[in-house]
Structures are given as C-alpha cells and as structure tokens.
Amino acid sequence: MNKEVKFVDWGLTDYQEAWHKQEQIFEQTVALKVKNRTENKQEPTPNYLVFCEHPHVYTLGKSGHPENLLLDDQGLKEKQATYYKINRGGDITYHGPGQLVGYPILDLDNFFTDIHLYLRTLEEAVILTLADYGIVAGRYEGYTGVWLDADNEKARKICAMGVRCSRWVTMHGFAFNVNANLAYFKNIVPCGIDDKDVTSMQRELGRELNMDEVKEKLKGHIAKLFEMQLK
C-alpha cells in the first residue's frame, strides 16, 4: 500500500480545465493498475489530493435531471456562469469563488476498498473542520454531504459530494461552502432537493473566513482520517 499523497492547490481554476487535469491523473492511475495486474507487477500507484476554487459553474451528474437547472442560456450568460454535464454521481450543484472544492484522486486499494466508507470519511473531515470553528454539523440520513440541523425543519447543506470510482480509483469529490455566494444556489434545485436550504460558514458565523486557514484545517483532518502521508 502506498499512503503517500501529493497535495496540490490549483487556486481559482476553470472547471473544464480542472476536469481535464483530473481525468488525466485518473486515467494514468487506472492504466497503471491494469498494467500491474496484466504483467504481475507491483509498481505503486500515485495518490493526489487537489484543492481549488472555480469561477461560477453549474454541473449535472450522470443521474441528474436537467430541469433542476432553472436558467436558460441567456440566464447563464447574465450570471456569468457555465454549465457542464459530467460523469460523477449525484444531481446538479454549483461551484464558485469562496467555495472550497476538493478532488481526492486516490487508489482506494492503498487505503480501503469501501466507497461508502470513503464518502463517510470525507464527510467526517468536513464535520471536524466545522467543529474547529464551533459549528455543529452532521449527516442527513439518506443523503450524502454535510448538514446543519439535519434532525429538524431547519436542515441546511453546507458541503455537497459527488464522486466517480473505477477500479477503486476515485475522482471528483466535495464542494464545501466557506465564503460562497449562496444566491447562485437559487438558480438550481441543489442536488435535486427542493425543500432544503443551503448554507455556508460565512453565513453561519456572520463573517468572512480565511480560506487558507480553512484549507489547512481540512487538509489536516483528511490526512489524519485516511492515515495519509501528505507531500
């Protein structure tokens, strides 16, 4: 098992460019796994943890419903937003400045081969990060992601998740609302859920957060929970 993980921060990156970069790493890792198996080799597979932010963009997962985007082409143009149909799980979501997006591109054979545990572990890292700021968060039964007040009518989502996994190699990941402009969520039915609110750390705490500080805390929790050796 190779638990070394290369951490990369792409900063503010166009969604399509980031998707292409992910695909390249993902495909190279899958190809190496296939080669190891066919040639009976043990060359270690790489692992990556990517953080970034995106300009305003809406993305629709492969099981999503296009009608959950409430904007037409002109509306997208007015909002200076783009729209992509992509190959992760889940429905529609929004990415934009002030939202911390994480793309773990991991060979789960290096950690554990359980996609549900993988998602729950990512959720736990976000929950622990929120706890560092005094925000009590948890899970909402039947849904992925991280929620506040999930046990009552005030339930609101602060982190969405959607992943792709092939041969136990992951891509895509999570979208964590730190200082995100929540008005952009009003143009979609977020993740296909039309009766729940969306929130951010900024909204909950009433102040803008230092994104670099949040990144460091979240990175530390992810590394500890997955027993990663970040480099």
Task: Indicate the domain borders of the chain.
Answer: 4-137+160-192+199-230
Which sequence positions are flagged as catalytic? 191
**Both structure tokens of 58:** 């809406």
Give the pLDDT confidence score for residue 87 in this predicted structure.
77
Give the pLDDT confidence score for residue 177 in this predicted structure.
98
CATH 3.30.930.10 fits 4-137+160-192+199-230, yes or no: yes
146-148 and 156-166 beta bridge pairing: antiparallel
10 in Cβ contact with 48 (< 8 Å):
no
d(CA 194, CA 206): 25
Please state the pTM of the whole predicted model: 0.93
Give the pLDDT confidence score for residue 157 in this predicted structure.
94
The residue ranges of DSSP E strands in 146-230, in sequence order, are: 146-148, 156-166, 169-177, 197-198, 229-230
Give the pLDDT confidence score for residue 143 in this predicted structure.
87
Give the pLDDT confidence score for residue 191 in this predicted structure.
59
Give the pLDDT confidence score for residue 62 in this predicted structure.
84
pLDDT along the chain (231 residues), means of 10: 95 95 96 94 95 96 88 94 85 93 98 97 98 97 92 92 93 96 89 75 98 98 97 92
**Both structure tokens of 145:** 């992601």
